[in-house]
Amino acid sequence: MSPTIPSLAGKLGGLQSSAIRDLLKLTVRPDIIGLAGGLPDAELMPRERIAVAADAALRDSACLQYTESPGWAPLRAVLAERESARLGRTVGLSEVFVTHGSQQALSLLAEVLLDPGALVIVEDPAYVGALQVFRAAGARIVAVPLDREGMRIDALTELLERGERPALVHTVSNFHNPGGVTMAEHRRRELAELAQRYGFWVIEDDPYGELWFDRPAPAPIASYSHNVIRLSSASKILSPALRVGWLVAPDAVCRGVELLKQGADLCGSALTHQITADLLADESWLAGHVDSVRTAYGARAKALVHAFRATFGDRASCTDAAGGMFVWADFTDGTDTADLLPRALEHGVAYVPGSAFAVDGGYRNSLRMCFTTSDEATLTEAIDRMARAVG
Amino acid sequence: MSPTIPSLAGKLGGLQSSAIRDLLKLTVRPDIIGLAGGLPDAELMPRERIAVAADAALRDSACLQYTESPGWAPLRAVLAERESARLGRTVGLSEVFVTHGSQQALSLLAEVLLDPGALVIVEDPAYVGALQVFRAAGARIVAVPLDREGMRIDALTELLERGERPALVHTVSNFHNPGGVTMAEHRRRELAELAQRYGFWVIEDDPYGELWFDRPAPAPIASYSHNVIRLSSASKILSPALRVGWLVAPDAVCRGVELLKQGADLCGSALTHQITADLLADESWLAGHVDSVRTAYGARAKALVHAFRATFGDRASCTDAAGGMFVWADFTDGTDTADLLPRALEHGVAYVPGSAFAVDGGYRNSLRMCFTTSDEATLTEAIDRMARAVG
C-alpha cells in the first residue's frame, strides 16, 4: 500500500508550475536571447578574490565546523558595521541575523511575524518569492500599486484609514523586482511614519540597493523607524553561491528567527560566511568591485532602454535604467504580452509577461526584462526580435 | 506604536530554551570536559582536500551562480550512484534531492508529508531536531521505545493493531542519536513490511551510517520498500560547513520538496555542492578518509565505554561503542542525571541528561555522552570526574 502525499495547494500559496513557467523552460535554448531570467552575471562575480578568501579560510579547520544559527560572529560584525553606516545609527550584533540568502530571511520572518489570517500588504506588481512565502503563511494579502516613485503611499494610507490593520508591509524599496522603480525619499519617511502610527512591521527587502547606475538610492526606510526590518544580500554584489543574506531587526525578532532557523536547517556555512566576511571587510577592493558591476550593468541597462524606446516609441513605455537588474515595460497599443510570448520565442527572444507578477490579475500589457547577462549588442538585437514578434 | 510579535509557542513545538540548555551554555568553559556537544571533530575534517576542491571549482565562474533547487546536477549524479550501490537498485537523478544539511530535509519533508493533526511515530529517546520539526508541523506525536536492537517493532505493531494510522514513522536507524543503538536487520524488514501493509512513510534518518567501528550497519530500511525515504549527510563524514544533506524519495515527494525549497531559500550553494561532489567522487581518497575518521572515533568511543564500565560497574550500563558519535548510559542506582548535572559541571564534566531527549518525560537516570572531540585520556578523565560527582 502506497502512502499518500497531502495536497500542497495551501502550503504553496497556489504558486505552482504555470503555463508561463513551462513556456519559459524553453528559453535555455541557445538561439533564444534570454531577458526572462533573473540571474546576476557570473562572469562579473569576483571569482579570483573568492578563491583567495577560500584559501585563507581553509588554513584553519574552524571554518569547517557547524556555526551559530545567527551566523558566523565575525561576519555579523562586518555586516553590523556596514549597516550602521547605512542606517546612521549603531546597529548591534544581536540585531543582525545571517540567512541562507534573503529568501530565507523572508520565509523565517513570515513564520515569526504572521499568524494565519494576518494582513500583509505587498506591492503590485510583486516580487513573487515574497508572495509565495506570505501566501504559504496563510496571510490575507492586499496589494498596493507601484508608480514611478515606488509604492503608492496614498493608496496605503487609504487602506489604513478604511480600517485595514496590516501585520506587515513588504516593499522592494530600491530598483524594484519586477517594477524597476525606486521608492522616493518622501515616501520612505511617510511609510515609516505610518508604521509608527499604526504599529505595523515594514520589511524593506533590498537586494539591489548597491547596484545604482547614476546616483545612490535614498537612505533606507529602516533609517526612519525601528519598525522597519531591513533585508539585504551578498548574492547580487558578490555571488549567490555564498548563500549569504541578512536581516537587521530588533533583538526580539532576531531571537524568534533564531529558534525557527534551528528547526529549518540548524545554521549556515562557516566557510561561505568566512569568505563573505573577508570580501565585505576589504573595503577598497569591494568599492572597486561593486563599481565595476555597476558600470557593466549600467551600460547594458541603458542599451536596452534606448533600444526599447527607439523601437517602440509611443506604442510602449519603460522604466529608466537607474539600477538593479530589471526594466519594466508597458505596451500602450494593447499588445498582450502573454499572448505575444510564444511568437517572441519563435523570433528568438524571451521575457516574463507582466501577468506573472500580478497580485490580483492584470498587467496583461506589461513585461519584465532582465539586462544582466547579455551585452549591449545582444540586448539591442533582443528588442529587434521583439519588434518583429509584435509585428 | 510598536508592532507585535505573535507567540511562537505553536510554531516551535514547545522546544524553547530550557534550564538544561542554559546550564549547558556553561560547558564552553575550558576547564570543563565536554561530552555534552554533538559536533564532529573539526581536526578530522579533510581541510586540505577541501581546499584543493575549492580551488578547482573556482577555476570556473559556474560555481558562483544560483543552482537548481534540487541541487547541482553533478552532485546529485554522484549521490545517485552511491545510493544505488547502497540500496541495491538504480536510484534515478529525480529521486535525489540535496538539502541544506539533513535538518532541512526533515523540515521540508514534514511540510510536504504532514497535514496538521497527522500522526507521527518517533523513537523514544528521540532526535530532538526531528521532534521540533514534527511538533512545529502540528503533528500528533506518539513514541515507540528503543531497545538494544533499535526501534521496538513489536510496540509499533501493537499501535497499528490498535488502529493507529501514522502518516510517517521517523527512525535514526544507525548509531542512534541519542540512543547509540542500531536497528537490527530483521526489524528493518519488519518495519518495511508494516510500511507497505499499512501505507505509511518511513523516514530513515541516517547521518551516522558510515561511521561504523567494527562492522558496517545492516542494509538500509530503504532497500526493502519504496515507502522509505532515506536521509543522509556529508556533515559527519566530510564537514557540516558544506551544508550538504540529501534525501532519496519517490519522484512525487521530491517535486513537493522542490516547490517548498524554492520558497524556503531558493537553492543551495553551487560552490559547496561542487566541492562535495569532487570529494564524494574521489572514491579511493574517500575510503581512506572515512576510514581514518572511523579509526579515531572508534578508539575514543571504546576508551569512553571502557572507562564508564570499569568505573560504574553494576551501578550503570551503557551502549556498545559500535559507531556514530554518541554513547547512551543508564544509571541503575537511582542517580538522577538532571540533578547531577550542576555537580558534574563543578567537577569539570558536561553531558546531556536523558530527560532532554524524552518524548513524554522519563529517562531521569540516563545520559548522552559524545566522544568525538576529546582524546582517549581526556575521555577517561571525564568519567573519573563524573564518578567523583556521583560520589
- Rounded to whole angstroms, the Cα distance separating A231 from B258 reads 24
- Rounded to whole angstroms, the Cα distance separating A36 from A357 reads 13
Are A235 and A291 in the same domain? no
Q: At what angle do helices B376-390 and B337-346 cross, to 10 degrees?
A: 110
In the listed set A228, A256, A282, which residue is the last one of a domain according to the structure?
A: A282
The kind and range of the H/E element at B304 are helix B283-312
pLDDT score for A1: 81
Partners of B271 on chain A (C-beta within 8 Å) are 239, 241-242, 272
Are A181 and A199 in the same domain? yes
Q: How confident is the model at residue A145 (pLDDT cuts 50, 70, 90)?
A: very high
The grid coordinates listed for B266 are 531558493
Measured between alpha carbons, how far apart are the two ends of chain B, in Å?
56
Are B237 and B338 in the same domain? no
Partners of A8 on chain B (C-beta within 8 Å) are 112, 256, 259-260
DSSP A150: E
3-state helix, strand, coil in chain B (%, to 5): 50, 15, 35
Is the residue at A7 inside a domain? no
Q: For residue range A157-187, what is the model confidence (pLDDT) as tens digits?
A: 999 999 999 999 999 999 999 999 999 999 9
pLDDT of A284 strictly over 80: yes
In the listed set A282, A315, A335, which residue is the last one of a domain according to the structure?
A: A282
Is the residue at B7 inside a domain? no
Is the residue at A303 inside a domain? yes
Q: Bridge-partner residues for B147, per DSSP?
A: B150
pLDDT score for A17: 43
User: pLDDT digit of tens for each residue in chain B (391 aa)?
Assistant: 888 888 766 665 544 445 566 666 666 678 999 999 899 999 999 999 999 999 999 999 999 999 999 999 999 999 999 999 999 999 999 999 999 999 999 999 999 999 999 999 999 999 999 999 999 999 999 999 999 999 999 999 999 999 999 999 999 999 999 999 999 999 999 999 999 999 999 999 999 999 999 999 999 999 999 999 999 999 999 999 999 999 999 999 999 999 999 999 999 999 999 999 999 999 999 999 999 999 999 999 999 999 999 999 999 999 998 999 999 999 999 999 999 999 999 999 999 999 999 999 999 999 999 999 999 999 999 999 999 999 8
- Rounded to whole angstroms, the Cα distance separating A129 from B264 reads 9
Contact yes or no for A2/B225 (Cβ under 8 A): no
Partners of A101 on chain B (C-beta within 8 Å) are 265-266
Complete DSSP assignment for B132-148: HHHHHTT-EEEEEEEET
Of the candidates B169, B215, B217, the residue with the CA atom closest to the CA atom of residue B190: B169
DSSP A230: E
With an 8 Å Cβ cutoff, are A199 and B1 in contact?
yes
Q: Is B369 helix (H, G, I), strand (E, B) or coil?
A: strand
With an 8 Å Cβ cutoff, are B129 and A263 in contact?
yes
Are B274 and B316 in the same domain? no
- Rounded to whole angstroms, the Cα distance separating B297 from B328 reads 15
In a mutagenesis test of the A interface, which of B235, B271, B273, B293 is the best target, namely the one with the most A β-carbons within 10 Å?
Answer: B271
Q: How many domains does chain A contain in total?
A: 2
Are B276 and B291 in the same domain? no
- Give Rg (Cα) of chain B: 21
Amino acid at A118: A
- Across the range A33-38, mean pLDDT stands at 92
Residue of A nearest to B108 (CA): A264
Of the candidates A230, A228, A203, A257, the residue with the CA atom closest to the CA atom of residue B8: A257
Q: How confident is the model at residue A201 (pLDDT cuts 50, 70, 90)?
A: very high
For B264, which of A65, A104, A256 is closest by C-beta distance? A104
Range of the domain at A106: 47-282
In the listed set A239, A255, A282, which residue is the last one of a domain according to the structure?
A: A282
Where b means 16+ CB within 10 Å and e means fewer, A29-44 reads eeebbbbbbbebbbeb
With an 8 Å Cβ cutoff, are B113 and A6 in contact?
yes
- Rounded to whole angstroms, the Cα distance separating B348 from B328 reads 19
Partners of B107 on chain A (C-beta within 8 Å) are 263-265
Are A174 and A307 in the same domain? no
Query: How large is the ipTM?
Result: 0.95
Sheet holding A150-151, edge to edge: A96-99, A245-248, A228-233, A201-205, A168-171, A119-124, A140-147, A150-151
Return the number of CB contacts < 8 Å for A and B.
220
Of the candidates A239, B258, A255, the residue with the CA atom closest to the CA atom of residue A247: A255
Is the residue at B8 inside a domain? no
Contact yes or no for B232/B246 (Cβ under 8 A): yes
- Rounded to whole angstroms, the Cα distance separating B104 from B89 reads 25
Q: For residue range A40-64, what is the model confidence (pLDDT) as tens digits?
A: 999 999 999 999 999 999 999 999 9
With an 8 Å Cβ cutoff, are B252 and A5 in contact?
yes
Of the candidates B278, B229, B288, the residue with the CA atom closest to the CA atom of residue B78: B278
Question: Cell 541597462 appears where?
Answer: A301
Amino acid at A271: L
Minimal Cα–Cα distance from B213 to chain A, Å?
A: 22
Q: How confident is the model at residue A19 (pLDDT cuts 50, 70, 90)?
A: low
Q: Bridge-partner residues for B316, per DSSP?
A: B331
pLDDT of A15 strictly over 60: no
For A50, which of B58, B199, B239 is closest by C-beta distance? B58
- Rounded to whole angstroms, the Cα distance separating A196 from B13 reads 32
Cis peptide before B3 (omega within 30 of 0): no
- Across the range A75-103, mean pLDDT stands at 97
Q: Bridge-partner residues for A145, per DSSP?
A: A124
Is the residue at A122 inside a domain? yes
Is the residue at B1 inside a domain? no
Are B112 and B180 in the same domain? yes
Complete DSSP assignment for A156-220: HHHHHHTT---SEEEE--SS-TTT-----HHHHHHHHHHHHHHT-EEEEE-SSTT-BSSSPPPPP
- Across the range A314-333, mean pLDDT stands at 97
Amino acid at A12: L
With an 8 Å Cβ cutoff, are A271 and B241 in contact?
yes
Share of chain A above pLDDT 90, in %: 91
Minimal Cα–Cα distance from A110 to chain B, Å?
A: 11
Beta-sheet pairing, A168-171 with A201-205:
parallel
DSSP B323: B
With an 8 Å Cβ cutoff, are A263 and B12 in contact?
yes
Minimal Cα–Cα distance from B44 to chain A, Å?
A: 9
Residue of B nearest to A114 (CA): B6
Minimal Cα–Cα distance from B221 to chain A, Å?
A: 16
Are B173 and B254 in the same domain? yes
Give the domain CATH number at A28.
3.90.1150.10
Are B183 and B266 in the same domain? yes
With an 8 Å Cβ cutoff, are A45 and B61 in contact?
yes
In a mutagenesis test of the B interface, which of A247, A266, A289, A370 is the best target, namely the one with the most B β-carbons within 10 Å?
Answer: A266
Are B239 and B339 in the same domain? no
Are A98 and A191 in the same domain? yes
For A265, which of B54, B101, B113 is closest by C-beta distance? B101
For B5, which of A40, A252, A262 is closest by C-beta distance? A252
Q: Supply φ then ψ for residue A90, to 5 degrees.
A: -80, 115
Sheet holding B119-124, edge to edge: B96-99, B245-248, B228-233, B201-205, B168-171, B119-124, B140-147, B150-151
Give the domain CATH number at B190.
3.40.640.10
With an 8 Å Cβ cutoff, are A253 and B5 in contact?
yes
pLDDT score for A16: 42
Are B120 and B239 in the same domain? yes
Is the residue at B25 inside a domain? yes
> DSSP E strands: which ranges in chain A?
33-34, 96-99, 119-124, 140-147, 150-151, 168-171, 201-205, 228-233, 245-248, 316-318, 326-331, 349-350, 352-353, 366-370
Is the residue at B9 inside a domain? no
Of the candidates B288, B290, B307, the residue with the CA atom closest to the CA atom of residue B383: B307
